[in-house]
């Protein structure tokens, strides 16, 4: 992208029939809630959905939008499956929530998803419209959100012509280290049935396709140089203490805080991976959305 220091795109490989069927199964399992008003739109040439806080939706929703990057291990998921979460986030914050349909691996390996996220960001982060948007993400989308924030920060530090970085970062159970060798993968193997080491390594192999995870901080942002974290916006982070990814979350919180980044972290017991998405009726999911609103100064 213009002004952003991103690696060039690379050719991928076809998805297996098994993966294609898993994608179809995920779409069947997470249809958009029928009562939610949402629109399919395009942002910077990338398809996606937009959910407004009003009913009916209004194009002039107050405040800059939230760009939320969905999870799925870079190989599953899609914007429509995240309409419910986007709706709850929009209602809690009063902000428009945009969920891009970024390209998936293995057909489109790293850095295709990052290029798509950057294209969306450049399309919506208009300095003439006031403060920049909020950048949010869950699971792999959380890692992608941090990677985009780092690329935008690097461009700003180099005084390259680029759009502003995010006003705030919101991370839900983020996947931040594609080495997938943190102790919490072993310690929480029995408790976390949604995301384990084998799933993480499968996702990493399909996304990286030969790029060493420890060598590319835009794929494993937990491993970014501490100096690169300095200047990131304030971060709101959620994770469950029984998740395989709890070490990714706590590790990033520590590293960001040491780089003088403001971090508000919530580590809750007895909750699954990305619970605000998977448990919409749980009071703690509503509390998480309320904390997002508070973090944005809207409560």
Residues marked as catalytic? 139, 243, 273
Contacts of 104 (CB under 8 A, 6+ apart): 15, 23, 72, 74, 75, 76, 77, 113
| DSSP run (H or E) holding 238 | strand 235-240
Strand order in the sheet with 46-51: 39-43, 46-51, 97-100, 66-69, 134-138, 169-172, 235-240, 263-268
Contact 109, 181 (CB under 8 A): no
Q: How far is CA 65 from CA 116, 130, 133, 201, 209, in A?
A: 17, 11, 5, 33, 33
Q: Give the single-character DSSP code of 135.
A: E
* β-pair partners for 170: 136, 236
The angle subtended at Cα 73 by Cα 64 and Cα 91, nearest 5°, is 30
Contact 138, 70 (CB under 8 A): yes
Tokens standing for residue 96: 């428009």
Q: How far, in Å, CA of 272 to CA of 290, rounded? A: 19
């Amino acid at each position: 992208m213009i002004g952003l220091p991103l690696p060039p795109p690379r050719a991928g490989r076809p998805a297996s029939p098994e993966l294609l069927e898993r994608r179809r199964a995920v779409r069947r399992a997470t249809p958009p809630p029928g009562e939610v008003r949402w629109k399919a739109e395009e942002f910077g040439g990338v398809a996606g959905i937009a959910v407004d806080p009003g009913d009916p939706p209004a194009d002039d929703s107050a405040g800059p939008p939230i760009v939320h990057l969905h999870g799925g291990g870079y190989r599953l998921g899609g914007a429509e499956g995240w309409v419910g979460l986007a709706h709850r986030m929009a209602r809690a914050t009063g902000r428009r929530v945009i969920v891009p349909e970024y390209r998936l691996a293995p057909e489109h390996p790293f850095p295709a998803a990052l290029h798509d996220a950057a294209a969306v960001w450049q399309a919506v982060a208009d300095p003439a419209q006031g403060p920049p948007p909020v950048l949010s993400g869950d699971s792999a989308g959380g890692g992608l959100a941090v990677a985009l924030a780092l690329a935008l920060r690097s461009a700003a530090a180099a005084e390259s012509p680029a759009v502003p970085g995010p006003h705030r970062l919101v991370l839900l159970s983020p996947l931040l280290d594609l080495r997938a060798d943190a102790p919490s993968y072993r310690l929480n193997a029995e408790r976390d049935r949604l995301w384990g080491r084998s799933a993480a390594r499968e996702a990493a192999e399909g996304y990286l396709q030969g790029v060493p995870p420890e060598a590319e901080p835009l794929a494993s942002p937990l491993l970014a140089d501490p100096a690169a974290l300095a200047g990131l916006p304030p971060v709101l982070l959620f994770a469950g203490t029984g998740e395989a990814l709890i070490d990714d979350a706590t590790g990033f919180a520590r590293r960001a805080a040491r780089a003088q980044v403001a971090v508000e972290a919530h580590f809750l017991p007895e909750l699954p991976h990305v619970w605000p998405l998977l448990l919409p009726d749980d009071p703690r999911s509503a509390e998480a959305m309320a904390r997002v609103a508070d973090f944005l100064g809207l409560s």
